[in-house]
Chains A and B, each alone.
Chain A
Amino acid sequence: MADEALFLLLHNEMVSGVYKSAEQGEVVSAAKALEENGRCITKLENMGFRVGQGLIERFTKDTARFKDELDIMKFICKDFWTTVFKKQIDNLRTNHQGIYVLQDNKFRLLTQMSAGKQYLEHASKYLAFTCGLIRGGLSNLGIKSIVTAEVSSMPACKFQVMIQKL
């Protein structure tokens, strides 16, 4: 139980740390602020990427080879998510053409924030790291992808994975 709280608090501090270091300096206009926001989200996502790469190495050292892409996605939804967030992804959808949508109805990092609409605009900051986590995990399994996240109502969120065919 303690390590769950540790990760949560550390993650929250990380997000606010990245944003604080970005907004140091002069007061920026609305357009620049949006750009800063994008830069911070990229930073967080890259952090998640590297962490995801390392984590997936650790988790798969004893498992068998994966049959195909769908198998890899199922692994991410079940074992990977369970080890990191202590629960599984609630819903996985695909169009069998490289797009997967992972839906988590009670995302661990958002449950404490609100149950509904309050703080919705801040939610994306807290999802960037996890997007990177998924992307890093997939990349070390040999899949290049783009991962985005959306939240319509806390604490449920959807991660969309687009596989890049080389």
Chain B
Amino acid sequence: MTVHNLYLFDRNGVCLHYSEWHRKKQAGIPKEEEYKLMYGMLFSIRSFVSKMSPLDMYAESEEMPRKDGFLAFQTSRYKLHYYETPTGIKVVMNTDLGVGPIRDVLHHIYSALYVELVVKNPLCPLGQTVQSELFRSRLDSYVRSLPFFSARAG
């Protein structure tokens, strides 16, 4: 049970933050390309999901509080979790397969970490990669404290 890595994008596709904890295999392309690829994929999946949905998304579904549809995908080795805020900030976390839905974790990363430490920091210009050391260290300690994060890669 572990967390592999985490991406944070803003509404224009700028990668605001990336950190990794257990990543054995790199993508083989430069980091900039990787971010673009990730963002492009998420964008396409989102529109695909809403177009092809056989059910009306805005109906009386109370167990799905958000109307945006795409939550996660999983392969035979890892699971990618996705959370998007109304302002277009996208939190993407890759974990291994043993991890269930973590919307609240991603929501906490957004509200308690991003909003508190980046939006409220006048020296962090919005729309650019986050330079704040405080954000980086708090995020790191938060992820390490999660119950499904173990130091030994699963």
Contact = CB atoms under 8 A, between A and B. Distances in A.
State whether these chains interact: yes
Interface of A: 5, 8-9, 12-13, 15-16, 112-116, 118-119, 122, 126
Given A112-B116, A112-B117, A12 B133 contact: no
A114 B122 contact: no
B120 A118 contact: no
Contacts of B137: 115
B123 A119 contact: yes
B121 A118 contact: no
Interface residues of B, number: 10
Contacts of B121: 12, 112-113
B132 A118 contact: yes
A118 B133 contact: yes
Contact of B134 (A13, A115, A122): A115
A58 B123 CA distance: 32
Nearest to A126: B122
A9 B132 contact: no
Interface in B105-153: 116-117, 120-123, 132-134, 137
27 contacts: A8-B120, A9-B120, A12-B121, A13-B122, A15-B122, A112-B116, A112-B117, A112-B120, A112-B121, A112-B134, A113-B121, A113-B122, A113-B123, A113-B132, A113-B134, A114-B132, A114-B133, A114-B134, A115-B133, A115-B134, A115-B137, A116-B134, A118-B132, A118-B133, A118-B134, A119-B123, A122-B123
A30 B135 CA distance: 31
Instruction: Label chain A's interface by main secondary structure.
Output: helix
Given A8-B120, A12-B122, A118-B134, 11 more contacts: A15-B122, A16-B122, A112-B117, A112-B121, A113-B122, A114-B132, A115-B134, A115-B137, A116-B133, A118-B132, A118-B133
The 4 nearest A-B residue pairs measured at CB: A12-B122, A112-B120, A118-B133, A114-B134
Contacts of A5: 120
Contacts of A15: 122
Contacts of A13: 122
Nearest to A118: B133
Contacts of A122: 123
A28 B133 CA distance: 30
Contacts of B122: 12-13, 15-16, 113, 126
A32 to B, nearest CB: 22
Nearest to A5: B120
Nearest to A11: B122
Interface string B78-119: 000000000000000000000000000000000000001100
